[in-house]
A and B are shown apart, each in its own frame.
Chain A
Amino acid sequence: MIINHPLLGPRDAQEFTYLGDANLIDRPDWQADGAGQAFYEYLYLRDNPAGLHRELWYHEQGDRSWLVVTRNISTHEITKVELARDVARAKGRGK
């Protein structure tokens, strides 16, 4: 499998490690009301689609950046690769 890194171009999947669902970026606010329930859902509840899936990959043997990869679970076709940093910032996370 080849992942088309947004900065470095096509790179072999052996350079990357997989973390999981890209929704892990959306960590709940621990001070909000109902944080317990929100964290339960954040930690344990995942969609399991047989199709497009957004997931976090880490370029460990490369530039150490986190990527959000949109991949079709059924075919392994990768349709989009973004820097997780940009995805998080677009959601108003970080500075």
Chain B
Amino acid sequence: MDNLALLPRCALGGDKPEARLIGGLRISENPGLAMASLAARAGQEGDVLKAARKLTGFALPGPGGMAGAGDWQAFWAGPGQWLLTAPFASHEDIARIVKSAVAGAASVTEQTDGWVRFEIAGARICEMFERLCNVDVRAMKSGQATRCQIEHLGSFLLCQEAGAAFSVLTLRSGARSMFHALETAARSLP
């Protein structure tokens, strides 16, 4: 069986990630990150924060926040809950890595292939997202993250660079719908 090679597919179905450049806005599928969810168990949030800092080198963010350093990025998902990402190439077993760091203080679940992630960048990005969701994107600062609804899909919107670069995460099965929505919004700018 050692000659059996299964090629991974991107969320949009291709062997390689898709990207579009529309009117100065670049929309690209990002398959390069592994992701795990981290949920502190009752009364053990302090231990989780301590263990996560040791693992990632930074403090887990508070409500609506995102933080990152080196390979790791984390954003707040709910009270005592975060999503952690790291490069897939070096952290394919991200759930095991996080679980061994927090031990019994938190529940960790592998999320990598449940999601699709798009990176969007361009000068008119706020105009684009105003057409997609009810988030006040102009007020979002770098390092803020929120859950919202885009194209009827529950999504996370991460502000990587205020007014210039955002990431969108949504369920992988909705990848094509989300890509369509992002393209349509970018094209619709006058």
Contact = CB atoms under 8 A, between A and B. Distances in A.
B114 to A, nearest CB: 16
A83 interface: yes
Interface residues of B, number: 15
Contacts of A61: 147-149, 154
A4 interface: no
Nearest to B62: A7
Given A14-B134, A15-B149, A61-B147, A95 B79 contact: no
Interface in B25-55: 42-43
Interface residues of A, number: 15
Interface stretch (A21-29, A32-40, A42-50, A62-70): A62-70
Contacts of A94: 42
A8 B63 contact: yes
A14 B43 CA distance: 31
Contacts of B126: none
B147 A62 contact: yes
A61 B148 CA distance: 6
A7 B141 CA distance: 17
B64 interface: yes
Contacts of B148: 15, 61-62
Nearest to A62: B147
A63 B78 contact: yes
B79 A63 contact: yes
Given A63-B77, A65-B79, A7 B149 contact: no
B63 A12 contact: no
Contacts of A12: 134
Given A7-B63, A7-B79, A63 B147 contact: yes
A9 B183 CA distance: 30
A85 interface: yes
B10 to A, nearest CB: 26
A42 B147 CA distance: 34
Interface in B135-156: 146-149, 154
19 contacts: A7-B63, A8-B63, A8-B64, A8-B146, A12-B134, A14-B134, A14-B149, A60-B154, A61-B147, A61-B148, A61-B149, A63-B63, A63-B76, A64-B77, A65-B78, A83-B79, A85-B79, A94-B42, A95-B42
Interface of A: 7-8, 12, 14-15, 60-65, 83, 85, 94-95
Given A8-B63, A62-B148, A65-B79, 11 more contacts: A8-B146, A14-B149, A15-B149, A61-B147, A62-B146, A63-B78, A64-B78, A83-B79, A85-B79, A94-B42, A95-B42
